[in-house]
Copies of this chain bind each other. A is one copy, B any other.
Amino acid sequence: MKNFTSAKDVTDLAGLVQLARDIKADPFKFRDAGKEKTMVLLFFNPSLRTRLSTEKAALNLGMQVISMNADQGWTLEFEEGAIMNAGSAEHVKEAAAVVSQYADIIGIRTFPGLKDREKDYSEQVIEAFKKYASAPIISLESATRHPLQSLADVLTIEEFKKKDRPKVVVSWAPHVRALPQAVPNSFVEWMKIANVDLVVTNPEGYELADEFMDGVQLEYDQQKAFAGADFIYAKNWSSYREYGQILSQDETWRITQDKMVNWANNAYFMHCLPVRRNVVVEDAVLDGPNSIVIKQANNRTWAAQAVVKRVLEGL
């Protein structure tokens, strides 16, 4: 694998999931795979889970890891031909080329601004690094996708599913802040290549971008969507149509124990975390036996380790 920035970079999902499972069973199985290799993680936005799980994954593979918060004082220029007499001190051309020389693999975390849809969906930062870096790029969440999260999600569903092709429902849920679409976009993208029945449910105005929803069932009625579901994947996101806006904080969309029991099929509850209790989802769900959010978070390490292993193989 050269880069890992979306589901499109994966040619053998089953093999990648199996690798993650093997690593989970024996975390130091490939302890020398990254020997004398260096991973540099650049955080243009803060990260907790992703940083901890990815650093650990790389260390478990024997790599040297250097993490840097690049969120202060390192403003990059992305325009070709720019006259750089304003805020940006360095062009991504140099930045990506230089970091490539210190790193065998570069991880990059960046968020959307949620102001300019076209800019966010062009994945300016990740794409520029892919273009100008000579080292492979792993997305640690980008403006529109969070593939390490999604692979962990696939792994989690694989572990818990009770039927060959489970029904998986992505449900929008209310939140007080305007959040990116990266997690649901990415989850949908990965579910399309996994063996599941996928339904997305959200209020009108919250439709995800066509490039992700193409071929995916959308259901505006949450109750209908939940019917027979094996997994409920809850997440808030801001509007793609009225870009970055909070159109609703409708509490009737909150995930409740009642819905999990009476609407869904005794479904497992998933969320990428952090989650706002009693806003996105009731305590009763999170604290109940069918919540698998902690185990899902655990799988972040094994997903990351499988990805880093594959990228190391491609060096």
Contact = CB atoms under 8 A, between A and B. Distances in A.
Interface of A: 27-28, 31, 36, 38, 40, 46, 48-49, 51-53, 55-56, 59-60, 64, 66, 68, 70, 72-74, 77, 81-86, 88-91, 93-95, 97-99, 101-103, 176, 273-279, 283, 286-287, 293-294, 297-298, 301
Contact of A53 (B73, B90, B102): B102
B278 A90 contact: no
A34 B49 CA distance: 22
A311 to B, nearest CB: 18
Contacts of A60: 36, 64
Contact of A279 (B52, B81, B84, B293): B84
B294 A97 contact: yes
Given A83-B278, A101-B298, A101-B301, 17 more contacts: A38-B59, A40-B52, A52-B68, A52-B103, A53-B102, A56-B102, A59-B64, A59-B66, A77-B277, A81-B278, A82-B278, A88-B276, A90-B274, A90-B275, A91-B277, A94-B274, A102-B301
A2 B267 CA distance: 35
B46 A72 contact: yes
B90 A273 contact: yes
A85 B60 CA distance: 37
Copies of this chain = 3
A82 to B, nearest CB: 6
A84 B46 contact: no
The 6 closest A-B pairs by CB, nearest first: A90-B274, A84-B276, A101-B298, A52-B102, A83-B278, A59-B64
B297 A101 contact: yes
A297 B100 CA distance: 10
Given A48-B68, A56-B66, A99-B52, A83 B279 contact: yes
A81 B283 contact: yes
A27 B102 CA distance: 12
Contacts of A51: 66, 68
A231 B101 CA distance: 22
A89 B274 contact: yes
A58 to B, nearest CB: 10
A21 to B, nearest CB: 16
A184 to B, nearest CB: 18
Nearest to A176: B85
